[in-house]
Amino acid sequence: MKTRKQRFLPAFIVIIVMFLLIVAYVVGSYAMVRPGNGRICDGVYVDQVDVSGMTREEAQMVLDSQVEKLSSRSLEVDVNGQVVTTTLAELGYTCDVGDAIDRAMEVGREGNVVSNYASIRQLSQEHKEFPLDVSYSEKSMKKFVKNTCGEKCTNAKNSRIKMKNGVLVYTEERQGVAINVDATVKAIQEALREQEDAGVVRVTAQVDLQEPVVTKELASRCKDKLGSFSTTYNAGNVSRSKNLANAARLLNGTVVYPGETLSVHDTISPLTEENGYYDAPSYSNGQVVDSIGGGVCQVSTTLYNAVLRAELEIVERSPHSMVVTYVQPSMDAAIAGDYKDFKFRNNTDVPLYIEGGTGTGTIYFNVYGEETRSSDRKVSFESEVIEEIQPGKDKITYDNTKPESYMSVTQEAHIGYKAVLWKIVTENGKTEKTQVNSSTYNAEPRYVVRGAAKNTQEPSATDKPDRTKPSATDKPKATATPKATAAPKATPKPKATPKPTSTPKPTEEPVVTEEPTEAPTEE
C-alpha cells in the first residue's frame, strides 16, 4: 500500500513543471515585448504626445516642441466688456519635461519580470499617459492683471475744487470700477486648469464698483476762508522775486483731502532751473550765498502763518539758522534739503483749498475749508524774544594783494535769538494763551577782509579801501532786532515799511525788508 507521500509526489512534480512552463512562457513573452534598450515602451504618452519607442533624447525634443506650442496659446480676459489678450508664456508658463520622461522610461522596467510583463500587456489594452507638471509665475500673473487689465477700468473721479474769477467752483464726481486683482488671478488659474486643451483660454475679470472719495456735496462745503497771511519782499531783487512767484504758483490750487498731509518741500520741488528757479541769496553755514531757489522759505513761512490762523494741525516746522526780518522770530518756517520742511495735516472733515500768489512785492496765501469755529472766537499770535546772543569777534580774512589800510566788510554781523511763539485765543469772554513753538537762531560775527601787503607808498585809486580802518573802539554792526508788523487784511496788498521799534511786538503783517532765506545747501 502506497504511503501519502508517495501518492502526492507525482502531483507536486506536475505543479512544479507547470510553474516552470508558465515562467518560461512569461519570460519568453516578456523578451518578445519588452522595450528596446534605452527606449520607451509602446503605449506610453506624455501630455497627449505618443512617445512610444522613443529614446530619451527623441522624447525631449518632441516634448520641448509641445511645451512651446502650449506656452504660445492665448489668454483672453474680459475686463468690464473690453478684451485684454496675452500669451501663457508672458504669464511665466513653465513645465518639467524631464520628470515626465523619467517616469515614461520606467514603464516595463521598474519591477520583476512578471509585473513588468503585466504592465506591458496592460498597455496593449489601454495606453498610459503622464501629465506635464505645469506652473505659472504668480508675480507675472498679478502684474498682468493689475497693470494691463487694470488699464481697462474706469477709475472713480473725485469732485474737483477750482478758483474761477475769485469764486470757488466744484465739478461733478464720477463712479468707477476697479479690478479685483486677487479674485481675477484665481479665476485665470481655474480657467487654465479647466481649459488646458483649448487653443484660446477665456476668462472674465472680477471688478468692484469704486465710489469717489470726494463727492460734489462734500467738496462744496469747502467755501470759507479759514486763514490768511501775507508778507512783503523787495521786488527789485528779480531772481528772488521769480523764485517766490514760482513756488507760490506750484502751491496755488492744491487740494488737501481729509487726513492728508501737505509737504511744502515735495510740492515745490525740485529746486532746479528746469522747474523755474533762479540763483538768489540763501543761508549756508552761517553765511549768505547764492543758490538755486533762494528765497522759497518766505513762501513756506507765509503759508505757515496762514495755516496757523486756520488752526490746522502742524506736522513739521523748523526755524531758520539765522533770524529773518520779513516775520518776527518763531513765525518763520524754513525749507532746507530733506531735513527742514513745513508740513501740515488736514485734520478736518472737509477738503482744504490753498490759494496763493504774488503781487508787486507781496506774497499771500489763503486757506479755504469749512468754518466750524464760533463767530466770537478771536485768534492772534505773539512773538517773544527771551534771549539775545551777541555775534562775537569779527572773522577776518587777510588779502596779501591789498595794502594794510584796506578793509572790506563782506557780511554784517547777525545777532542770535531764542524766542517762543504764543497763540492767544479769546472766546466766550475768556482769553487763553498757549505756546506754539520755540526757536533758536544762531549769532554770526561780521566777516571782514583786511589788506596784508607791506607797502609804504600811498595806495592807488584802485586800491583805496572801501572804508577807513576802524579804531580800537570800533564794534561790529549787528543785524537789527526784528521789527513788529501791522495786522493782516483779508485782501493782501503791498504796504509801506513801518518804523522799527526797539523790541519785538506781536505781528500780523510783516515789514518790507529783504532777507535771505534757507536753501538746501544749509548745514
Q: How far is CA 413 from CA 48, 234, 471, 483, in A?
A: 90, 21, 18, 17
pLDDT digits (tens, 9 = 90+) for 264-290: 999 999 999 999 999 887 776 666 777
Q: Is the pLDDT of residue 120 over 80?
A: no
Tell me the HSE value of 312 on the side-chain side, using a 13 A CA sphere.
Answer: 39
All cell numbers assigned to 311: 488752526
Q: What is the mean pLDDT of residues 233-262?
A: 96
Instruction: Return the DSSP state at 163.
Output: E
Nearest to 406 by CA among 344, 450, 471, 443: 450
Contact between 173 and 157 under an 8 Å Cβ cutoff? The reply is yes
Nearest to 480 by CA among 500, 510, 508, 497: 500
Q: What is the mean pLDDT of residues 325-339?
A: 92
pLDDT band at 320 (very low <50, low <70, confident <90, very high): very high
pLDDT band at 522 (very low <50, low <70, confident <90, very high): very low
- Mean pLDDT of all residues belonging to the chain: 82
**Quick one: pLDDT at residue 199?**
85
pLDDT band at 462 (very low <50, low <70, confident <90, very high): very low
**Quick one: pLDDT at residue 111?**
62
Q: Who has greater pLDDT, 507 or 300?
A: 300
Of 47-51, 149-153, 218-222, 307-311, which range is least confident? 47-51
Q: What is the mean pLDDT of residues 502-522?
A: 38
**Quick one: pLDDT at residue 510?**
35
Q: What is the mean pLDDT of residues 94-119?
A: 75
Q: In what order do the strands lie in the sheet with 255-256?
A: 224-232, 362-369, 352-358, 255-256
Query: Which residue has 538746501 as its cell numbers?
Result: 520
Q: Is the pLDDT of residue 516 over 50?
A: no
- The rounded distance, in Å, linking the Cα atoms of 173 and 158 is 5
**Quick one: pLDDT at residue 260?**
97
**Quick one: pLDDT at residue 473?**
38
Tell me the HSE value of 323 on the side-chain side, using a 13 A CA sphere.
Answer: 32
pLDDT digits (tens, 9 = 90+) for 483-493: 444 344 444 44
Using CB atoms within 10 Å of the CB of residue 194, give its burial: 0 to 12 exposed, 13 to 18 middle, 19+ buried: exposed
**Quick one: pLDDT at residue 96?**
77
**Quick one: pLDDT at residue 517?**
41
Using CB atoms within 10 Å of the CB of residue 376, give its burial: 0 to 12 exposed, 13 to 18 middle, 19+ buried: exposed
Q: Is the pLDDT of residue 468 over 80?
A: no
Contact between 292 and 273 under an 8 Å Cβ cutoff? The reply is yes
Q: By three-state DSSP, how is residue 19 classified?
A: helix
pLDDT band at 129 (very low <50, low <70, confident <90, very high): confident
Contact between 494 and 361 under an 8 Å Cβ cutoff? The reply is yes
Nearest to 443 by CA among 349, 320, 309, 343: 320
pLDDT band at 251 (very low <50, low <70, confident <90, very high): very high
pLDDT digits (tens, 9 = 90+) for 390-407: 999 999 999 999 999 999
pLDDT digits (tens, 9 = 90+) for 160-209: 999 999 999 999 999 999 999 999 999 998 998 888 778 899 999 999 99
**Quick one: pLDDT at residue 507?**
35
Alpha helices in 157-275 (DSSP H): 181-194, 216-219, 238-251, 264-268
Give the H/E segment covering residue 309. Answer: helix 296-310
Give the H/E segment covering residue 177. Answer: strand 176-179
